Homo-oligomer: A and B are copies of this chain.
């Protein structure tokens, strides 16, 4: 790894430590909280992970001339939102997953009822933290609006519903024996459109709101916010493509035959629709555009540029 790469790894690790410490503080002060609820919330919130969203908040704030310290509440809030969504998505009524990051999922440890409530409490705490600990109040309110619209009906939750719908539609397509090549091509274009729309909502909006929150805390001007949002959209989509690619690198050869439809889990993926090479090119192109957008920020955006390259390059 290059020296720059090593320096950036060290920076990331330091930011992650600050975020983890602050998240632990937020769990620590839930004194009067019924202990099973606190345990369930902390179990998932303090489970580690990349902390990509909060890191984006901090780096965006820095790129706009603000301080890491001022952006920490917003960074923690977005990680709380991300964590609640994982807890609820893992439930038997949704994706029904038993494991996440190598540990039992929340509901497997605490039961479905408590897992639902822990998710609700983390979602609510996110708004409490951002509204109370971000200054001044007008910035806090603007951050609440960003976070809510990125994570609610028109953002993450809406994307999750659209995802469930698309899976059902895809299952129907796959179970049909009558599809001919021409329909197949039209379906691929349609599916790619659907896939992008879902990702934009399900993961893209929240990643995009991360940089917006950082910029708001730094009280950045409209042009800076706009550039960071465009950067966020591209990095978010590239991140998703990289994630899809990682899922298939284990059996890449097999995937070649399946291009156009990844029916294994009834899920659409980029390599499944575009093929591996075209997916890689698409991700690279998005990252290139994202970095270009940050030119006016100069050296202050170096870390955001390093991060954009980082998310698509490594198995992490």
Contacts and interface: CB of A to CB of B under 8 A. Distances in A.
Interface residues of A, number: 56
B157 A121 contact: yes
A38 interface: yes
Interface in A108-167: 111-117, 119-121, 123-125, 127-128, 130-132, 134, 136-142, 144-145, 147-149, 151-154, 157-158, 160-162, 164-165
A116 B116 contact: yes
Q: Which of A34, A41, A84, A137 has the most C-beta atoms of chain B within 10 angstroms of its own C-beta?
A: A34
Interface string A153-185: 110011011101100000000000000000000
Contact of A144 (B34, B127, B160): B127
Interface string A43-71: 00000000000000000000000000000
A208 B141 CA distance: 22
Interface string A252-288: 0000000000000000000000000000000000000
Q: Which of A33, A147, A154 has the most C-beta atoms of chain B within 10 angstroms of its own C-beta?
A: A154
A36 interface: yes
Contact of A93 (B111, B147, B153, B162): B111
B123 A123 contact: yes
A152 B34 contact: no
A153 B164 CA distance: 29
A158 B164 CA distance: 30
A37 B121 contact: no
Nearest to A36: B161
Instruction: Give the top 4 A-B pairs by smallest Cβ distance, nearest first.
Output: A137-B138, A128-B148, A93-B112, A124-B152
